[in-house]
Structure 1
């Protein structure tokens, strides 16, 4: 009997964790992990933080060292992009002309930095990969004029890192608020104020029309720059899937078990548009925790498991010495309950739906509150808003009470 082969295309957070999960769940066949980058799997969050600010450059944040991967018999093919999937023949073609067979295929192709198409934009830098971080790092020198295009998580983390290195930083954002896709208006204002206090010049509602020499040209002004870095989101790498005939809707469409529209083909991580049973909707997320946990969940399914992926969304960001954490989906909230004083070093907010259930939480230097919120989100039961707001009320007691009702 031939040995079964699980082939994984994409050697990032989702793919590498899926490979480990398959093996640890008991899959005894071959696991082949194919990555387009020449590096072995590494963590991305440090790229916008320590990889830009630490002196000297810190070690590459690899995970799953070679010894562990060898022990688990995970075969890594690095620096070799996949170029086509033949779903009928169950084979994947690689850039060098070779092909790999599979019994089950997992697509964890993630995304790439979205590029700006503007006159003179050829010199804009982007941050998505280790090589990107190494290209940006030497530009962040004291006094350098750094212009960050985009006030999302990546743009603001780069701005924070650049200020740490003594740069003069300007952030240009087309939208009216900071991190507008991820935060409620109150927290968007908090983050904008945080950057302003740190000396970052912020401009919202700003349309960039061109880059001319050392100047970033906007509709109403121009900004001098020694380096321009854009953080304007990602484009999901769905081309392989679409060309193979898989369903794509802003991401590779998968069910709660990571199954695509093609037999024996699965997908996980940033590249997916996945069904979330807890929220009853299809989601598209771009976060470290999602990539890791979705990869683990789908890897287990491919090894014979039967548990759906229903993880509570969560992400974090460190900016100017402040740790921001967001759990759940703030956009679903009908009201917000503040716990603590928003002028204090640590505080949190719980976001409730119309039925009084916690659907999200945002914390500033408040990891315990966010952890408790994640348990409340998972329970899906109404919570006493006054108790949430009372700093004297132990959140673990509320969690215990809600879990008791849920059971």
Structure 2
């Protein structure tokens, strides 16, 4: 019988897990351990509405101290989870103390990947509220902003900075933004979206040297281009915080390995969220997803299974991004697909793209067609085999395709 649960982490995954445990009747001891001093909050707005000054700090909170007090949830904030001892299911903290639980949930998330040699007073990484507060104060009209990396964080920062009147240059070493996620055609669409909105996008260029002067920073690329900046934002991906699990007999290569029930290879130890590399049976491999929705759905599944359930986490990954007044959404896994079908007009940034593998819908990406994406998510989850001609036909109702599955 589970009488106590310890969660290493105090972000979105931990918050959803805590709410799920209490909603499902767990009345034992529940403790969340977080390295930050903040109560659990949402991270997606940090590069979107919050960074742009359109959202207040209080709106970010997902698990208030008042709710925790009312539901007897202990928050141990400002202390890092250091290591787990699987033998007695305890979590050692950086302050020397330890907590024991009948079940341990690893939800430690990740941290920004740092670029060697790119360090100094004008370099910014974006992961925490403190990071966003500092950067927001620097995105002034006329500010020279260089963004290294054209992933979703880099593109969102560029959008917010342009909206605040800054001059933005984005450096991406690949041939196009997000090509590894969206493919070449949709990567070209992302490049057009950036350039159309005033971003100086430099693709196929790698940062070779970084230096700071009395008046700013200088970023030099392999092609010999030197860019002056007031602030440099690095968006080079994320490193999962697997350190508390290292040496505990759990596979941590590329993230904490778990099965479809969020279970590690050690009894009583679970993992979910950005740190978890989960087995996806239909793909035949482990996948780590760094998205808000995945953190929420995995956190819920882990909580149910901690309480003895058998809730497989099979929801296709889904994420959204707000850029330059457009709503972008992606669902599923587009890698390894063999056909791309587009409904709408990519040149107008009003379309949905379907990724097929052997006729099976595996992923979808859309700009400003959220209703279509909602149906596409259901079709992806169902493993639907679809007619490409119907998918591209604007007059065909996608909802009818789902209904036809029976």
Question: Residue 295 of structure 2 aligns with which residue?
Answer: 291
Question: Residue 372 of structure 1 aligns with which residue?
Answer: 375
Question: Residue 225 of structure 1 aligns with which residue?
Answer: 229
- Taking structure 2 as the reference length, what is the TM-score of the superposition? 0.95
Contact 2:2 2:307 in 1 (8 A): no
Question: Residue 167 of structure 2 aligns with which residue?
Answer: 168
Contact 1:14 1:268 in 2 (8 A): yes
Cα displacement (A) at 1:57: 5.4
Contact 1:278 1:310 in 2 (8 A): no
Query: Which range moves more in the overlay, 52-61 or 246-255?
Result: 52-61
Contact 1:85 1:93 in 2 (8 A): yes
Deviation track 1:313-344 (CA, whole Å, cap 9, x = no partner) reads: 11111111111111111113210111122233
Contact 1:36 1:79 in 2 (8 A): yes
Q: How does 1:132-143 map to 2 (within 5 A)?
A: 132-143=131-142
Residue aligned with 2:185, SS: helix
CA distance in 1, matches of 2:312, 2:295: 15
Residue aligned with 2:246, SS: helix
CA distance in 2, matches of 1:71, 1:279: 42
1:335 aligns with 2:334: no
Question: Residue 80 of structure 2 aligns with which residue?
Answer: 81
Match of 2:218 among 187, 208, 215: 215
Cα displacement (A) at 1:90: 2.0
Query: Which range moves more in the overlay, 243-252 or 48-57?
Result: 48-57
Cα displacement (A) at 1:378: 1.0
Unaligned runs of 5+ in 1: none
Query: Which range moves more in the overlay, 36-45 or 256-265?
Result: 256-265
Question: Residue 348 of structure 1 aligns with which residue?
Answer: 352
1:91 aligns with 2:95: no
Question: Residue 68 of structure 1 aligns with which residue?
Answer: 67
Contact 1:82 1:93 in 2 (8 A): yes
Question: Residue 44 of structure 2 aligns with which residue?
Answer: 45
Cα displacement (A) at 1:121: 4.8
CA distance in 1, matches of 2:58, 2:34: 20
1:390 aligns with 2:393: yes
Cα displacement (A) at 1:350: 1.1
User: What is the Cα-based RMSD across aligned positions, in Å?
Assistant: 1.6
CA distance in 2, matches of 1:398, 1:173: 38
- Taking structure 1 as the reference length, what is the TM-score of the superposition? 0.95
Deviation track 1:33-90 (CA, whole Å, cap 9, x = no partner) reads: 1111000000001001122212685545101223333333221111111112111122
CA 120–44 in structure 1, closer or farther in 2 if over 3 Å, else same = closer
CA distance in 2, matches of 1:306, 1:84: 27
Residue aligned with 1:136, SS: helix
Cα displacement (A) at 1:123: 4.0
1:302 aligns with 2:306: yes
Residue aligned with 2:179, SS: coil
CA distance in 1, matches of 2:28, 2:55: 42
Residue aligned with 2:236, SS: coil
Question: Residue 363 of structure 1 aligns with which residue?
Answer: 366
CA 3–281 in structure 1, closer or farther in 2 if over 3 Å, else same = closer
Contact 1:121 1:210 in 2 (8 A): no
CA 273–103 in structure 1, closer or farther in 2 if over 3 Å, else same = same
CA distance in 2, matches of 1:186, 1:115: 29
CA 56–353 in structure 1, closer or farther in 2 if over 3 Å, else same = closer
Cα displacement (A) at 1:277: 2.8
Cα displacement (A) at 1:281: 2.3
Q: How does 1:101-116 map to 2 (within 5 A)?
A: 101-116=100-115
Unaligned runs of 5+ in 2: none
Deviation track 1:174-225 (CA, whole Å, cap 9, x = no partner) reads: 1111012321211111111111111110111112122122211112210010
Cα displacement (A) at 1:133: 0.4
Count of matched residue positions in the alignment of Structure 1 and Structure 2:
401
Contact 1:256 1:276 in 2 (8 A): yes
CA 217–4 in structure 1, closer or farther in 2 if over 3 Å, else same = same
Cα displacement (A) at 1:4: 1.3
CA distance in 2, matches of 1:54, 1:389: 38
Contact 1:48 1:157 in 2 (8 A): yes
